[in-house]
Amino acid sequence: MKQVEERYILKILSFLERGSYFTKQQMLSWLKRHPGNWCMEEDGYGYQYCLISYPLTSLSQPYLDPEKTVLLVFDGDTVIADIATVSTRTDDLLHDDEISDAIMDIDTWVQSCLYVMKTAFAHHTSFQKKDSVACIICNAYVTHSYRRKGIFTAMMQMVRDHCVRFSHNTITLFQTISLDPDIACYGPDASDEPYYYSMEQ
């Protein structure tokens, strides 16, 4: 892990540390031992795409299933976009209650995505392939002033590629997505006013 990569990964971990089951240093140490669980890319605008992934429930899990992925996009030191996913093998999603329960514990939006995905599999049994991966996009957001630069598309492709990175044969990837409210939460156009989401609006 190069110094610039570690610097951006630490920025992500600072975002995640509150409310997580790990400390920033615990996760950094774990990622250094698992180089397949982080990557960085730069686009044509010079924006840095920094991605990490880790076991959803515990760093001591022998397997990564289910796996949480978080990607932040930076313009220098400023966060301008983000996306987060949880993924697992489709067969496990359908038949392993512990995995379903762990995913449902994330939040209400993810529960809704999980319901949609399971319903689709129930009605279309041809989708139920043992060599397929299910990916729930928990949230995705691009700051207003950075839109129309292909950032959203690039983030989507990057997390798709990451979900199937250990597959060597043809694989099917199923996705559902939950988008954040279209309100600037960070970046140069963020409002100082707090935003409280209402299910009634």
What residue spans define the domains of the chain?
Answer: 3-177
pTM summary value = 0.85
Whether 182 shows a pLDDT value over 70: the answer reads: no
Q: Which two tokens stand for residue 62?
A: 């022998």
CA distances in angstroms from 77 to 14, 72, 145, 188, listed in the order given: 13, 11, 16, 12
| Amino acid type, 115 | Y
CA–CA distance, 101 with 119 (Å, rounded to integer): 16
CA–CA distance, 54 with 37 (Å, rounded to integer): 7
* Residues β-bridged to residue 81: 73, 142
**Chain length of the chain:** 201
Residue with tokens 């598309």: 153
Q: What is the pLDDT of residues 71-121, one digit of tens each?
A: 999 999 999 999 999 888 888 888 788 888 888 777 777 777 777 778 877
Closest to 171 (Cα-Cα) out of 129, 123, 136, 119? 129
